[in-house]
């Protein structure tokens, strides 16, 4: 097995590959290369080149946040002998929360001895997603979050809240129709936001899909209808805990389905967010690809479902 560590220096603090190289120096038996990316999209291109030029089993380590994981995924998803591992050194690291958080993923020995499990991914607008695809209010918030995430006070752990505050003013009612496996979910053609998930968390702390199972061949779809701003504060509290699906007071605004396909149609400037990465898509079909990727789960880590 050859190991390829793809390090995004723009994710997290001091994420320049030195910690990875220090670990590998202690494990000379591991056949590994470290590559530090230099621009958005570089990870995908580099991983794709390796898949095309390097035969045999290989494990790609995404060293960064969810965006880095997404870029590596998009480079290797079509490579049958590739595995995906995560070294979650970004700011959000939402996907690994499905397995209890990032601590286990920072145990190098546990990673090397981990289990490899086939997990579902999603495909939309010519790209893949392993965690959550979202649109509407969330996407507006994510766009702002990307701009401020490194700023003091507004960024870092407060970045999502800064984005949410902006969306709270500008994106409370969005024109978009959504179908899940052919069923129209919103006859009035409006949403606050919608998520399609294989993972469970989004925005660093929000449990958007508490019932999601990432190897069952289905997406968890949650559409939130437009609502008054004052009521949004109650929704945020429920959404953070993952209680919005079961709370009786939320049932008039929450539409929840499990499906293999979601179709959406919106305006010309509509944007999808795939694991935090922005993709313009005024209309799109999101499909789940069951067991499409071999993902490395560190020894001792378990899904929280």
Q: What is the pTM of this model?
A: 0.91
Q: What average pLDDT does the structure give for the chain? A: 93
pLDDT for res 155:
75
- Which fold, 132-290? Tumour Suppressor Smad4 (2.60.200)
Higher pLDDT, 137 or 153: 137
pLDDT at 216 over 80: yes
pLDDT tens digits for range 153-172: 777 777 777 887 888 888 89
271-to-136, 154, 274, 297 alpha-carbon distances in Å: 8, 23, 10, 31
**pLDDT of the residue at 12:** 64
Residue 14 confidence (pLDDT) above 60: no
Element (H, E) at 121: strand 115-124
Ordered by start, the domain boundaries in the chain are 2-120+292-297, 132-290
Q: What is the pLDDT of residue 179?
A: 98
Tens-place pLDDT, residues 52-66: 999 999 999 999 999
- Please state the rounded mean pLDDT for residues 200-219: 94
**2-120+292-297 is classed in which CATH architecture?**
3-Layer(aba) Sandwich (3.40)
Supply 8's token pair: 């995004």
Of 162, 109, 120, 104, which is closest to residue 292 (Cα–Cα)? 120
The secondary structure of residue 232, as a DSSP letter, is: H
Backbone angles phi, psi at 66, to 5 degrees: -65, -30
**Per-residue pLDDT for 113 more than 90?**
yes
**3-state secondary structure (DSSP) of residue 250:** helix
The predicted pLDDT at position 13 comes to: 55
Q: Are 201 and 208 in contact (CB under 8 A)?
A: yes
Instruction: Please say if the pLDDT value at position 197 is more than 90.
Output: yes
Give 220-272 pLDDT, tens digit per residue: 999 999 999 889 889 989 999 999 999 999 999 999 999 999 999 998 889 99
> Given this model, what pLDDT does residue 131 score?
98
Spatial separation of the C-alpha atoms in residues 268 and 139, rounded to whole Å: 15
Q: Which residues pair with 82 in a beta bridge?
A: 58
């Amino acid at each position: 097995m050859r190991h390829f560590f793809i390090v995004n220096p723009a994710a997290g603090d001091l994420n320049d590959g030195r910690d990875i190289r220090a670990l590998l120096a202690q494990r000379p038996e591991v056949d590994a290369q470290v590559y530090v990316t230099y621009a958005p999209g570089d990870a995908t291109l580099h991983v794709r080149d390796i898949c095309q030029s390097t035969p045999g089993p290989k494990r790609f380590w995404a060293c960064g946040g969810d965006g880095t994981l997404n870029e590596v995924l998009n480079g290797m998803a079509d490579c049958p002998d590739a595995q995906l591992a995560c070294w979650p050194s970004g700011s959000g690291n939402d996907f690994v929360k499905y397995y209890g958080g990032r601590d286990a993923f920072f145990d190098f020995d546990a990673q090397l001895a981990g289990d490899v499990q086939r997990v579902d991914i999603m495909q939309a607008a010519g790209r893949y997603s392993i965690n959550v695809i979202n649109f509407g209010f969330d996407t507006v918030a994510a766009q702002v979050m990307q701009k401020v995430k490194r700023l003091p006070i507004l960024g870092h752990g407060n970045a999502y809240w800064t984005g949410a505050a902006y969306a709270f003013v500008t994106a409370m009612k969005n024109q978009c129709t959504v179908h899940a496996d052919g069923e129209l979910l919103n006859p009035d053609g409006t949403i606050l936001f919608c998520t399609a998930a294989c993972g469970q968390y989004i925005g660093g702390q929000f449990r958007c899909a508490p019932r999601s199972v990432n190897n069952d061949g289905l997406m968890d779809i949650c559409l939130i209808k437009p609502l008054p701003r004052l009521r949004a504060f109650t929704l945020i509290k429920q959404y953070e805990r993952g209680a919005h699906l079961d709370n009786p007071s939320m049932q008039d605004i929450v539409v929840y389905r499990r499906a293999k396909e979601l179709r959406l149609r919106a305006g010309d400037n509509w944007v999808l967010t795939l694991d935090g990465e922005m993709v313009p898509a005024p209309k799109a079909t999101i499909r789940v690809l069951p067991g499409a990727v071999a993902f490395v789960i560190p020894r001792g880590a378990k899904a929280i479902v």
